[in-house]
Structure formats: C-alpha cells, structure tokens
C-alpha cells in the first residue's frame, strides 16, 4: 500500500501545494493551505487503512502534539474553529456553574463566531470599542464594562496582533473573572515570550485553509483544566461521557474497564456506557485523516510562523510607500504570528480605489472581517452600533492583504516594482500590483 500511495502522490500536483510555481499574471491569493506532498501522503494512508474514518488514533495523536507545542495539558479537536468556540463556551458554562444571562466582555470588531457562541450558550456579550491606532480593542474600556454578572473576557486579536496582555491579566485577576482566548487568527502569537494560550483558562483555534495550520476544516479547544476538556469532549460527542475512540472502541470492556457497569441510577439493569448521555450535546467530531494532516502541519509551524512575520514586514513596507495609507506594528512585548497585513486608509475613497485596483490586478483583498458586527442584521439586536464610533469606521477605512507562507518573494516583488502612486495620473494607486 505504501508503494501505491507514493505513486499516487508523486504524480499529483494540485495548485495549493507550497512548491507550486507562480508566474506574474496569476492570482495572488491572500492565504491558502501551506501543504506539500507529505500532507497528501498521510491523508491517503489514513483513508486507505479503512479502519476508522471519524476521529480516532490520528486525531488523538494530533491532540497530544498540539498540547505539547502550545504548552497546554489537554486539547480537543473538533470539526471547525466555530465549533471550537461553541464547545468552549458551553463547557465553561457547565464547568464553572455560569447561569443564563451571565456576561462575557468582547470586542464588537472581528469575526461572527467569536460572538455568536456566547449568545448560543445563553450568555450575554458586553461590547467594547477598538482603538483605531492599532485596531485592537480599547483595553481602557474593559474595566468600566465589568458588572456583578461578568464571568469572563474573550481575547480575540484580529489579524494576530496582541494587545497589552499585562493590563488584561491584571483586570481579570483583580475582578476574579476568566480570560478566554479565541486564537483562530492568532495561533502562535506571543506576549512576553509566552503563547497567548498560556494566559487563558481555555483557548480555541481554527484549521481552516486561511489559518496558520490547515487540515481542510477543523478546530481545537485547549486548556490545563482536565475537567473542562472532559466536558467539552462530552458535548462534542453527542453528550456521552465515553472516551473510547478509534481502536479503543474494539476493546470488549472499554479503556476504563467498566463499560458494562451500572451507569444510570434509575435503570435497574446494566447498560453499555458508550451509550449513556449525560448532557444534551452535538456531533462536532473531525475526521481521522484531518488529525494525520494536523500532525504534519505542527512539524512545520515554526517555519510558517517565521514566514508570516517576514512577509508581513515586506508587504507593509510596500504599502506604506503609498500616500494615504499606513499599517500597524506590534507592541515591544509582542511577537505576532500575523494572519494578514492591516491597511488603514485616510478616506473611504482611498480604500475603494486601492482595493479595486488590487483586485483588478488579481491580488486578493479582504475587509477587516465583519467590521462592527453590531451593524449587521443578525447582530443588531445585541446593542446599538453607534455606541462604538471607532468600530464604525473599520468597514470604510480598513482592509487587509495576505502574508501567509503561500505568498512568495516573487509575488511581493511584484508589489515593489509597481510605479509610485505619485506617478499615476488622477489616481493614488500604483499601475500594477
């Protein structure tokens, strides 16, 4: 079988492979899977084994490698970063006895699945505005938002740039509330030499193709709290407490040795604990081959991190030569594992012209995600968007371009060789990008 797999992989050259050639005139995508043939090989090997397609041994192996890499004791892989947040908030609520209506402080700028799971778990999001100089939330506003019902603060650095974690940690400690981390954009970012995950009771991340690690889809919840992850796993596996996975399912008495003991007090007989449901859960399991891919990606993470940082610096240098635009820098204590390069424009017209020009020249751009989420119909009932004036400016003035390891020096060189905007008549835009 190994020879078959090697033969198939050797003849495969999908365009998303990292070593695929790029030529001027082809699209410059802002991100994508940073794969080579190793990911294809382990995917096929896992699938062709035919032993177990849902989460099994490969997922368990990836969970352990992920925990070691990012200094957490326990990790749970699920089918998406959105699911990771959904499970994380539901598990936190169960673990610490939070009640419906208890409050979580969050920025109103970012991606919907930072906020939606708070509401879906029966909790209440309480919003803070951003500081427009660095596009991160205004840390000075956090303490004013704390009430008797505040249970946590969810940190979600958009585009991976850490804010002042010393201030946030101090606020959380003094007010006895939890710091929660949505690291879907910021996996690998550090503050004072420590991963952002080190500072949080629980942390989530995403393995979508645009993110630092790609398994196709997928996400992870991590924590040092064993009981929290046990609850999260139960919720992600239909609400049952059984933890036998993959080959362990074939053991006659389970891994615990108590598979057929009495588990339900009100039931007089013996019932297989694999089918005892202690919570109303979901089915959010990943596939086993995704775990195999994740293990390969973990081994590349340091390379991915350094390429993202180098690309961010090079791309930023180009754009800051353009009149009317600037980017942001990280704080001295921070080491951002950049998701993208934020571009702040001096006017709506500048943003419109620049993004149109880039897109016309096949360079992908993205809005600063949803901007002020409270402006969107699905979230407008949560608060009044105009209470957050800096957040209101994001959609008009901010966008981002890519800095992923899939962006190579020839692509960046194309930006550098563009004519100066000053040389382009009736426009501030370069003539090519």
The pair of three-digit structure tokens given for residue 220, joined into one six-digit string? 């992870």
Q: What is the 3-state secondary structure (H, E, C) of 233-294?
A: HHHHECCECCCCCHHHHHCCCCCCCCCCCCCCCCCCCCCCHHHCECCCCCECCCEHHHHHHH
DSSP state of 317: H
With a CB cutoff of 8 Å and minimum separation 6, the contacts of 44 are 5, 8, 9
Helix (H, G, I), strand (E, B) or coil at 332: coil
What is the rounded distance in angstroms from the CA atom of residue 335 to the CA atom of residue 332? 8
What is the rounded distance in angstroms from the CA atom of residue 159 to the CA atom of residue 330? 11
What is the rounded distance in angstroms from the CA atom of residue 66 to the CA atom of residue 92? 21
Tell me the domain boundaries of the chain. Answer: 40-248+277-297, 249-276, 301-423
C-beta atoms surrounding 191 within 10 Å: 23
Q: Give the fold, CATH level 3, of 40-248+277-297.
A: 3.40.640
- Integer-rounded Cα Rg, in Å, for the chain is 23
CB 136 within 8 A of CB 130: yes
From its phi and psi, is residue 281 left (phi > 0), alpha (psi between -120 and 50) or beta? beta
Nearest one of 111, 109, 101 to 129, comparing CA atoms:
109
CB 411 within 8 A of CB 430: no
CB 371 within 8 A of CB 322: no
Q: Residues with catalytic annotation?
A: 211
What is the rounded distance in angstroms from the CA atom of residue 9 to the CA atom of residue 293? 14
Q: Give the fold, CATH level 3, of 301-423.
A: 3.90.1150
The pair of three-digit structure tokens given for residue 290, joined into one six-digit string? 């995704």
DSSP state of 5: H
The pair of three-digit structure tokens given for residue 99, joined into one six-digit string? 């009640």
The pair of three-digit structure tokens given for residue 414, joined into one six-digit string? 């194309």
Nearest one of 96, 221, 105, 86 to 152, comparing CA atoms:
105
CB 74 within 8 A of CB 243: no
Residue 26 confidence (pLDDT): 85
The pair of three-digit structure tokens given for residue 204, joined into one six-digit string? 């989530």
Q: Is 260 exposed, middle or buried (0-12, 13-18, 19+ CB in 10 A)?
A: middle
Residue 57 confidence (pLDDT): 86
The pair of three-digit structure tokens given for residue 228, joined into one six-digit string? 């929290």
pTM: 0.90
Q: What is the pLDDT along the chain (433 residues), one digit of tens a residue?
A: 677 777 777 777 776 776 567 888 888 899 989 998 889 888 888 888 766 788 888 999 999 999 999 999 999 999 999 999 999 999 999 999 999 999 999 999 989 999 999 999 999 999 999 999 999 999 999 999 999 999 999 999 989 999 999 999 999 999 999 999 999 999 999 999 999 989 899 999 999 999 999 999 999 999 999 999 999 999 999 988 766 655 555 556 555 666 777 777 777 777 777 778 888 999 999 999 999 999 999 999 999 999 999 999 999 999 988 889 999 999 999 999 999 999 999 999 999 999 999 998 889 999 999 999 999 999 999 999 999 999 999 999 999 999 999 998 888 887 766 544 444 444 444 433 3
- What single string gives the DSSP state of each residue in 153-187? EEE--GGG----HHHHHHHHHHHT-EEEEE-TTTT
With a CB cutoff of 8 Å and minimum separation 6, the contacts of 338 are 159, 160, 161, 308, 309, 311, 312, 403
The CA-to-CA distance between both ends of the chain, in Å, stands at 46
């Amino acid at each position: 079988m190994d020879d078959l797999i090697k033969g198939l992989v050797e003849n495969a050259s999908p365009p998303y492979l990292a070593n695929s050639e790029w030529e001027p005139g082809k699209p410059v995508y802002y991100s994508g899977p940073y794969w080579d043939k190793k990911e294809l090989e382990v995917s096929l090997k896992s699938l062709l084994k035919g032993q177990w397609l849902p989460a099994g041994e490969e997922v368990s192996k990836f969970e352990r490698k992920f925990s070691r890499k990012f200094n957490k004791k326990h990790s749970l892989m699920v089918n998406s970063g959105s699911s990771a947040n959904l499970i994380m908030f539901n598990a936190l609520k169960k673990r610490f006895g939070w009640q419906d209506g208890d409050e979580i402080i969050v920025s109103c700028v970012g991606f919907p699945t930072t906020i939606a799971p708070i509401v879906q778990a029966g909790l209440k999001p309480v919003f803070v505005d951003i500081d427009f100089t660095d596009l991160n939330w205004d840390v000075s506003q956090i303490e004013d938002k704390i009430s008797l019902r505040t249970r946590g603060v969810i940190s979600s650095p958009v585009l991976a740039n850490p804010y002042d974690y010393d201030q946030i940690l101090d606020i959380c400690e003094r007010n006895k509330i939890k710091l929660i981390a949505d690291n879907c954009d910021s996996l690998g970012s550090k503050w004072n030499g420590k991963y952002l995950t080190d500072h949080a009771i629980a942390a989530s991340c995403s393995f979508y193709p645009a993110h630092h690690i790609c398994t196709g889809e997928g996400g992870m919840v991590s924590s040092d709290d064993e009981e929290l992850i046990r609850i999260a796993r139960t919720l992600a596996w239909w609400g049952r407490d059984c933890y036998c996975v993959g080959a362990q399912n074939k053991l006659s008495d389970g891994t615990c040795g108590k598979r057929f003991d009495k588990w339900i007090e009100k039931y007089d007989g013996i019932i297989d604990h694999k089918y005892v449901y202690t919570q109303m859960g979901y089915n959010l399991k990943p596939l086993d081959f995704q775990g195999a891919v994740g293990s390969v990606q973990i081994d590349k993470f340091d390379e991915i991190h350094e390429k993202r940082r180098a690309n961010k610096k090079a791309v930023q240098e180009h754009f800051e030569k353009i009149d009317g635009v600037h980017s942001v820098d990280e704080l001295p204590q921070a080491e951002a594992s950049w998701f993208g390069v934020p571009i702040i424009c001096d006017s709506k017209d500048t943003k419109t012209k620049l993004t149109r020009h880039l897109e016309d020249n096949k360079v992908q751009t993205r809005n600063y995600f949803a901007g002020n989420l409270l402006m969107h119909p699905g979230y407008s009932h949560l608060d009044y968007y105009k209470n957050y004036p800096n957040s209101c400016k994001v959609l008009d003035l901010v966008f981002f371009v890519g800095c992923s390891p899939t962006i190579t020096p020839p692509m960046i060189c194309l930006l550098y060789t563009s004519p100066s905007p000053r040389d382009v008549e009736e426009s501030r835009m370069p003539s090519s990008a």
